[in-house]
Structure 1
């Protein structure tokens, strides 16, 4: 973080010299060396923000309870992938994704998001009193984009006409598109900008910071959580800081519906 106006420049690490300025562009940044300097090209002091990205597990739709819960409302509202516009007669190529993960319902409550939900549906279809399963916290997207969304590989910038920003390579087909929300005229059904911004910031925290402890790869996630499984046989994964966090939120996620039923909310 810095209070000084800054620009990004190319950087020659061998010669320790700055190169050309990198102007704002919709293109995905290519791998290389870059340096943050003042607008006049002078070196500045930049602090490192300690905030870590919120851990998130892949969402799976293999439980009948979930199928009769929040997904039909999002599908009815959207009818297509809100990123690409893909429409299908069935939903085999479309999935409903949470913007803010339901396993972090305590943080959701602490941030006051429940009070911002104006959805008038019964609590039973909104995840109980927290309303975390409201359609205002859901988007319908193409199935192959679902894991990338959960992994914060791209985000939606609500302050730039809902532009899709890819944080890593491999998402060139969606980078620069705009989330399609014009069909949602009822504000009580429209996703909250605050939630998109929260998700966007998680992507920045995850992909725009220096390397620390090695993160789980997509293959690690798939081996542990693929097809709705919960494989705990690899201690090298579970003994890491991220593994311990994921274990906690996985239990919270899988007990979520049970917790709601204990509070007397019918699903």
Structure 2
């Protein structure tokens, strides 16, 4: 089934990601035929790789120029910035406990306990098929991997707040009603005021850390 509507425009973010993947692309667990027929996605989330809450950074990195834009939702809601994940895996992904290294055959890297046995698996090819117009973007995947490395090596023990805030949500309300609101607010302000500095640091990380996951496995990360 195509992710394009009759007019040729990109469908809504969740629908496009679901139609493309039809499985958790990290665990490989498929959506059942019954779930597909009933359009029940209760165990799965269409997850953003680059968080919606940091959309200004998405623009600053010029990722919008690399993806198919949805005129209604904005570039951060392109299906090329999305993966279909099981809900439990989505939580780990948002907290940078797991990530994907597109420079190492799309290997899954687990930075904490690998309770689900995901380390070393490959991201399912269905979401990265270059023949599909909405395949997940490698540059965005690598951005997430870079942030995961930074979070787990340089900011070990500090709270991580780069979680997905759904499109249309009140970001301020989500922060105030969530855990550690003062720390989260400080993080969000830092994110918006320090974009350029972090962008430079992010570009340098590939020189500091090798692409192969073997390095992180040897370090016990």
1:161 and 2:111 aligned: no
TM-score relative to the length of structure 2? 0.64
Task: Map Cα deviations across residues 7-53 of structure 1 (whole Å, 9 max, x no partner).
Answer: xxxxxxxxxxxxxxxxxxxxxxxxxxxxxxxxxxxxxxxxxxxxxxx
Taking the aligned partners of 2:70 and 2:142, their CA distance within structure 1 comes to 26
Q: Once the 2 structures are TM-superposed, how far is the Cα of residue 122 of structure 1 from its aligned partner?
A: 4.6
Q: Which residue in the other structure is 1:101 paired with? A: 51
3-state DSSP of counterpart to 1:152: coil
* Count of residues in Structure 1 that have an aligned counterpart in Structure 2: 162
**What pairs with 1:47-66 in structure 2 (closer than 5 Å)?**
none
Runs of 4+ in 1 over 6 A off after TM superposition: none
TM-score, length-scaled by structure 1: 0.54
Gaps of 5+ in 2: 1-10, 162-172, 192-221
Deviation at 1:233, TM superposition (A): 7.4
CA contact (8 A) 1:238 1:247 kept: no
Larger mean Cα displacement after TM superposition, 167-176 or 145-154:
167-176
CA contact (8 A) 1:98 1:139 kept: yes
* 1:123 partner SS: coil
CA distance in 2, matches of 1:233, 1:204: 28
Where in structure 2 are the equivalents of 1:233-252 lying within 5 Å?
237-240=180-183, 242-246=184-188
Contact (CA 8 Å) 1:216, 1:237: kept in 2 or not?
Answer: no
Which residue is equivalent to 2:118?
Answer: 174
Structure 2 residue aligned with 1:82: 25
More strand by share: 1
- The 3-state SS of whatever aligns with 2:99 is strand
User: Residue 160 and residue 248 in structure 1: after superposition, are their counterparts in 2 closer, same or farther (change >3 A)?
Assistant: closer
Larger radius of gyration: 1
How far off is 1:177 after superposition? 0.6
Deviations along 1:114-167, whole A, 9 cap, x unmatched? Answer: 1111x2x6512xx23xx1111100000111111111101011000111000001
Please point out which of 72, 85, 88 is paired with 2:15.
Answer: 72
Unpaired runs of 5+ residues, structure 1, are 1-67, 218-228, 250-267
Q: Which has the higher helix share?
A: 2
